[in-house]
A and B are shown apart, each in its own frame.
Chain A
Amino acid sequence: MRLCRCARKVILLVLIAPGMMRAQAADESAEKAKIRALENIWNQAVVLRDLKTLDVLFDADLAYIGSDGALMTKAEFLALVRSFHPQGLATNINNIQIHDDTAVVNGTYRFKELRNGTLLVQEGRFTNTWIYKGSSWVCVAAQDTPILPSAGK
């Protein structure tokens, strides 16, 4: 039986589409892996107070909301990191959503800092927004929210 052109096109699409979807899924998985790697580099850079690395990770127009609700520019956040005496930073990424050139990362953090001779430990949630610019991901917005005893989850 000779198939009409239309039917041939439909069959071709059915055969190709799963492959395209697998390719898309693979692409997204690869991008999520990149984001995870960048988040890990961020953690290490904070503990080491590596401002050069943080400078590359953050967009020039970065908006950073700290755990006390303060809104900081990139320069202000880097100055804050410079003033830290970090003893450790552990994060757990719970979710990464990618929408075209934008990724939103949700997770929890545990930050240890030596302040005036006292070891302070803070636990909270973070929400970071990354944008794909040029040929790489940069963080354009970040927010920390302390976990209070009243939080149900």
Chain B
Amino acid sequence: MPPDGVRMRRICIFAILIGALAGPAPAQSKADAETKAKIIALEQLWYQSFQRHDSRAIDSILDNTALLTNYDGSIQTKADYLASMKTGFSKPSDLQPVEIAESMEVRVFGTTGIAIGVYRIKGIEHGKTYSRRERFMDTWKCLSGSWVIIGTAATPVLH
């Protein structure tokens, strides 16, 4: 299990938004660009909700069927994840891991979006400091008019 069983996000929103929205827009691309912007905003919402300890907002972002695969191969259901968030929130702030986003791109397939990126996470575990990079992939789906995560995974970057 990750140090406190949770993942945080800080997203360089401006650089990524500019990258996502730049360029000419034929009809299909314009719709995709709008979807990309929505997903980027939702990724940021996930982060902001975590910062605010707003488990209700995160509850609304994750589909009830979503499974989360953590960097170490452990898996969590949505209920597991929300419970681990509460545990993490109770820890002193200096023991909370810090996460810095390095990159993110969004690919759109109609009403499905896939966010792929890398973040660096630093923290203290069992009295020792650690730092690692993880590549994540979040699968978003528009269900009943709302975008939700239906799957998410992370893999340590070793290369």
User: From A153, which residue of chain B is reached at the shortest CB distance?
Assistant: B74
Q: Bound complex: CA of A99 vs CA of B74, how far in Å?
A: 24
User: From A146, which residue of chain B is reached at the shortest CB distance?
Assistant: B73
User: From B109, which residue of chain A is reached at the shortest CB distance?
Assistant: A131
Find the residue from B63, B75, B110, B150 having the highest chain A CB count within 10 A: B75
User: Are B111 and A101 in contact, CB atoms less than 8 angstroms apart?
Assistant: yes
- Write the nearest CB–CB distance from B123 to chain A, whole angstroms: 14
**Chain B interfacial residues counted at CB < 8 A:** 35
> A-B contact count, CB below 8 Å?
120
Q: Is B155 an interface residue when CB atoms closer than 8 A count as contact?
A: yes
Q: Is A43 an interface residue when CB atoms closer than 8 A count as contact?
A: no
Determine the chain B residues whose CB is within 8 A of the CB of A71 once the complex forms. 116, 135
Determine the chain A residues whose CB is within 8 A of the CB of B111 once the complex forms. 100-102
User: Are A99 and B155 in contact, CB atoms less than 8 angstroms apart?
Assistant: no
User: Are B69 and A150 in contact, CB atoms less than 8 angstroms apart?
Assistant: no
Determine the chain B residues whose CB is within 8 A of the CB of A143 once the complex forms. 69, 137, 153, 155
Q: Pick the residue among A61, A68, A144, A147 that contacts B72 (CB under 8 A).
A: A147
Find the residue from B72, B107, B153, B159 having the highest chain A CB count within 10 A: B153
Determine the chain A residues whose CB is within 8 A of the CB of B137 once the complex forms. 63, 65, 127, 141, 143
Question: What's the dominant secondary structure at chain B's contact region?
Answer: strand
Q: Bound complex: CA of A39 vs CA of B69, how far in Å?
A: 19
Which residues of A in the span 48-85 have a Cβ within 8 Å of any Cβ on B? 59, 61, 63, 65-71
- Write the nearest CB–CB distance from B74 to chain A, whole angstroms: 4
Q: Pick the residue among A59, A70, A106, A131 that contacts B75 (CB under 8 A).
A: A106
Question: What's the dominant secondary structure at chain A's contact region?
Answer: strand
- Write the nearest CB–CB distance from A1 to chain B, whole angstroms: 39
User: Are A102 and B150 in contact, CB atoms less than 8 angstroms apart?
Assistant: yes
Determine the chain B residues whose CB is within 8 A of the CB of A153 once the complex forms. 74-75
Which residues of B in the span 97-151 have a Cβ within 8 Å of any Cβ on A? 107, 109-112, 114, 116, 133-135, 137, 139, 141, 143, 150-151
Q: Pick the residue among A65, A69, A95, A129 that contacts B139 (CB under 8 A).
A: A129
The interface of chain A, by Cβ under 8 A from chain B, is: 59, 61, 63, 65-71, 95, 97, 99-102, 104, 106, 124-125, 127, 129, 131, 133, 140-141, 143-148, 150-153
The 10 closest A-B pairs by CB, nearest first: A147-B73, A69-B157, A104-B151, A148-B72, A151-B74, A127-B153, A151-B73, A68-B158, A151-B72, A69-B135
